[in-house]
Amino acid sequence: MDSGMNELSLTPGAGKSTGAGGSNNDWFATPSRPPPNSGSVTPKSSKKVFGSIERGLDRMKHMLTPRKRSTSSSDGPQMVSGKALCNVSTTAHHNPDHVLSELTKALMCKGIQCQQKGYILRGKIIDPSGLAKLSFELEVCRIPNLNVVGIR
């Protein structure tokens, strides 16, 4: 009745052909893939559209992401209050730029290299071998209650 069952009992390599016209070795062959359907491939224009949308979304995300704001030195020195007052020395001057220039002059007279960034002075003392012996920061700031300039 079912001739297919009889064909399976044949041993490979016996030289007999199957009813489909192939050899017995075709039983174990990997089936061939159907040709790719041309309708499933996305056209290049749609890729351009989606890429354009993604770039627009990336730009929007970048624009809406908050950034760390740098403290601008054009506003003057930072106001200090509360617990930050514990390491602040007051001066008799009211002009922070004058205090900053006096500090740099004093450090230069002592032979200490310093760099200024805004109202912060970074100093470094180097030993003869080239290693840093001491590094420090001095910040000129305002003390609001006393209306004077301090050094932290």
Structure confidence at residue 140 (pLDDT)? 92
pTM: 0.49
Structure confidence at residue 151 (pLDDT)? 92
pLDDT in tens, the chain (152 residues): 555 555 555 555 554 444 555 555 666 677 677 666 555 555 666 777 777 888 888 888 888 888 776 555 557 788 877 766 778 888 988 899 999 999 999 999 998 889 999 999 999 888 888 888 889 999 999 888 888 899 98
Segment 84-91 long-range contacts (CB within 8 Å, at least 24 positions apart): 84/152, 85/143, 87/152, 88/141, 88/143, 88/150, 88/151, 88/152, 89/150, 89/151, 89/152, 90/143, 90/146, 90/148, 90/149, 90/150, 91/148, 91/149, 91/150, 91/151
Structure confidence at residue 49 (pLDDT)? 75
Structure confidence at residue 144 (pLDDT)? 81
Structure confidence at residue 57 (pLDDT)? 85
Structure confidence at residue 24 (pLDDT)? 57
